[in-house]
Amino acid sequence: MSDMQIASGKVIDGQVVVEGDLPEGSSVTLLAFDGEEEFEVDAELEAVLLESIAQGQRGETISAGELLREMRSRE
């Protein structure tokens, strides 16, 4: 299994413009946010989510394979 990256972007003139660099020829999967859908989290979950985002921005990431191994080991 290859490593995965998360990238954000916007649709501009019908084209997806990615913020950041992806290798040429990368296969991508898009998840589009529905502008009307909202969700709420409590303060504890918000803190966990914000810390997770900060870890990713600092480059503190793991491969998808490692994540799957960790998840399977918890079953």
Residue pair 69/5 in contact (Cβ under 8 Å)? The answer is no
- The b-or-e profile of 32-70 (16+ CB within 10 A means b, else e) is eeeeeeeeeeeeeeeeeeeeeeeeeeeeeeeeeeeeeee
Give pLDDT, residue 13: 93
What are the residue ranges spanned by the domains of the chain? 8-73
Q: pLDDT for 6-60, tens place per residue?
A: 778 888 998 888 888 888 888 888 777 777 777 788 899 999 989 988 898 898 9
Give pLDDT, residue 45: 92
Task: Fill in the DSSP letter of residue 12.
Answer: E
Give pLDDT, residue 4: 67
Give pLDDT, residue 73: 92
Identify the band that residue 1 occupies on the pLDDT scale cut at 50, 70 and 90: very low
Model pTM score: 0.42
